Amino acid sequence: MRARIASESIVDMSTNEHTLKFFGEELNQLKAEVARMGGLAEAQVADAISAVSDRDVSLAESVVGRDRRLDLLQHDIERKSIRLIALRQPVAQDLRRTVGAMKMASILERTGDYAKNIAKRALVISEAEPITPLTRAIERMGKLVAARLKDALDSYTSAELDQAMNVWQNDEEVDEHYNSLFRELLTYMISDPRMINSCAHMLFVAKNLERIGDYATNIAEIVHYEVTGEEIMGDRPKWSGVAREDADDSDLEA
């Protein structure tokens, strides 16, 4: 299942023997546009995180302003995909790629929405007193999420199945960061009610980051479906699931 299917990577599509050469070019175009949109979404997320951690008001404002470009790109990709399906009636992997592009566009658009939301909250947070340990924790979580989004998009552009699976399986790290941050924020809010306003905003920033991390796994699922034609079955593996396999291999005498 995890075989690397290199022949289907984006770079090779131009040399594939499509029944219609022109159709192959159209598909390539679509994928290129999704990749560009991905780059834009990535930059939005990265800038939104910097806006929070550096208390950078103008950066936050520009993130909010740029969100519209993602909306336009999404509409464009959707329109082109529908046109492609209607006129060319693709089958098998071509159909999966086309539908995949549409799904990707909507995921990336929502990723951008979360980035915009983070940037808006950055505007409020930067007005309040700085809480350095918390912003550092947010920054750390943000870096992690951004790296996962990057890996997911890399796996999309290269159609690298193993990399996609790797993104898909390591979802828990982000969740753990979120849970830890959640407890920390509660502690701050209990100890000093004056911080409740900015802490509440930070809580939503963390939640938004967690959702962006989830979208990265969704991208990995799309890549898997595009390449293999099968959906990933079952829940994401949790550590407890791994542990059950070698339950006898306990090493510590309690």
- Shorter beta-carbon distance to other proteins: residue 110 or 124: 110
Token output for 125 = 């947070």
71 makes contact with other proteins (CB under 8 A): no
Minimum distance of other proteins from residue 10's CB (angstroms): 5
Identified binder of other proteins from the candidate list 32, 57, 85, 128, rule CB under 8 A: 32
* Contact set for other proteins, span 165-224 (CB under 8 A): 166-167, 169-170, 172-173, 176-177, 179-180, 183
Closest by alpha carbon to 47, among 22, 64, 26?
64
Tokens 């079952």 label which residue? 234
Identified binder of other proteins from the candidate list 1, 3, 92, 247, rule CB under 8 A: 247
Residues ≥6 apart with Cβ < 8 Å to 101: 30, 31, 33, 34, 77, 81
* Alpha-carbon distances of 113 from 108, 120, 173, 183, 184, rounded to whole Å: 9, 11, 23, 26, 26
62 makes contact with other proteins (CB under 8 A): no
- Shorter beta-carbon distance to other proteins: residue 31 or 121: 31
Tell me the residue type at 84: L
- Shorter beta-carbon distance to other proteins: residue 129 or 251: 251
Residues ≥6 apart with Cβ < 8 Å to 75: none
- Shorter beta-carbon distance to other proteins: residue 60 or 134: 134
What secondary structure letter does DSSP report for 54? T
Rounded Cα distance, 236 and 172, in Å: 9
* Contact set for other proteins, span 122-151 (CB under 8 A): 136-137, 140, 143, 146-147, 150-151
| 64 touches 116 (CB < 8 A) | yes
97 makes contact with other proteins (CB under 8 A): no
Using CB atoms within 10 A of its CB, is residue 130 exposed (0-12), middle (13-18) or buried (19+)?
exposed
- Shorter beta-carbon distance to other proteins: residue 98 or 124: 98
Total binding residues toward other proteins, as defined by CB under 8 A = 58
Minimum distance of other proteins from residue 27's CB (angstroms): 9
Rounded Cα distance, 109 and 102, in Å: 11
Give the interface with other proteins as residue ranges (CB under 8 A).
4, 9-11, 14, 25, 28-29, 31-33, 35-36, 38-40, 42-43, 46, 136-137, 140, 143, 146-147, 150-151, 153-154, 157-158, 160, 162-163, 166-167, 169-170, 172-173, 176-177, 179-180, 183, 239-240, 242-244, 246-247, 249-254
